[in-house]
Structure 1
Amino acid sequence: MIRTEWIPSAYADSNTPVIRKATLDDKPILLRFEQGVVEAERPFTPEMKAGEQQYYDLDWLLTSPDAYLVVAELNGELIASGYARIDASKPYLKHAEEAYLGFMYVVPQHRGKGLNRLVIDALKQFALSRNITELRLEVYSENASAIKAYEKFGFTSYLLQMRMGLGE
């Protein structure tokens, strides 16, 4: 179990959230978190189908040695998630592998309390344990609050992916 030395001040006087590796037993809650991510991203994705969507292969994320899915738990309740997935880098880059971060979710009543920092710190530790020196993630260009949060953690803009809908 990973515990981090940095504790969000919002939890200083209460029980401390614990960041731990997710298990198959967590899957029902993770499926709910996944729909939370879908709903948060729906306004930025005009081409998304209506209804529930499956973004993640949770079984793979929970069992693969090349993935590390963590949850934040407080008083027996799961309140946040995130994963690092080891990917091969482009052949022209200096690093052979990189860690792609995804499934960054915090339940609404716990947002703004520093949980994403705890999750990202745990994912960074996983990446470093695998000798990975590069973290990547994707964020919608119109999601200013997420961009600002990731910049606070040390991420910088790297590449803008563009799209064009035909027949919309």
Structure 2
Amino acid sequence: MAEVRIRPATLDDLEILLRFEQGVVEAERPFDPTLREEPIHYYQLPELIASPQALVLVAEVEQQVVGSGYARILAAKPYLKHEQYAYLGFMYVAPAYRGQGINGLILQQLTQWAAAQGLTEMRLEVYAHNQPAVRAYEKAGFAAHMLEMRRAI
């Protein structure tokens, strides 16, 4: 495998990051019948890239962006032990580069950033039936915490 470089995203990366965002949406459609059919956007990428309360990372292989992820600082519920936590999102690796540990490298740097911010808690959301993603996050040390349930009426 070629060397993987992890770096902060810039606005120059926006075009490919918007494509990655649609890759995330399409990967999640089979798990979520409530998503609208037209193109949708989960993230405000320019704001996340510019925010001092967030870190958006990209993974490069041979100067080509092949993966992404972010951490942002959110306020915790007032009844929790921690006041803030790092919320992770936009975890994406281009299909040709999956299975090479790139997601783990991004997670490692996001964890280091969160710790440097004084945070002690990291959270993310993953569809319960997306077993490959669940296993990847478990491998990275995450554990299921709360199951959100829904019912159409």
Q: Give the TM bin, normalised by the shorter chain.
A: over 0.9
SS in 1 for 2:73: strand
Mapped pair 1:157 → 2:152: no
**Deviations 1:47-91, CA, capped at 9 Å, x for gaps:** 111131111000111100001000001111000000001000111
CA distance in 1, matches of 2:95, 2:84: 33
Secondary structure of the structure 2 residue equivalent to 1:65: coil
Distance 1:162 1:65 in 2: 33
After TM superposition, which residue ranges in structure 1, 4 or more long, deviate above 4 angstroms? none
Match of 1:53 in 2: 40
The alignment of Structure 1 onto Structure 2 pairs a total of residues equal to 153
Distance 2:87 2:77 in 1: 13
Give structure 1 stretches of 5+ with no counterpart: 1-10
Among all aligned residue pairs of Structure 1 and Structure 2, give the percentage whose two residues are the same amino acid: 54
User: Which residue in 2 is equivalent to 1:23?
Assistant: 10
Q: Which residue of 2 aligns with 1:98?
A: 85
Spell out the pairing of 1:54-93 with structure 2 (5 A cutoff). 54-93=41-80
1:140 corresponds to 2:127? yes
Alignment-mate amino acid for residue 87 of structure 1: L
1:32 corresponds in structure 2 to 19
Give the alignment's TM-score, normalised by structure 1: 0.89
Q: How does 1:122-137 map to 2 (within 5 A)?
A: 122-137=109-124
Q: Which amino acid aligns with 1:154?
A: G
- Structure 2 portions without partners, runs of 5+: none
- Aligned: 1:107 with 2:94: yes
Larger Rg, first or second structure (1 or 2): 1
The aligned residue for residue 103 of structure 2 is 116
Distance 1:149 1:20 in 2: 21
1:131 deviation in Å? 0.4
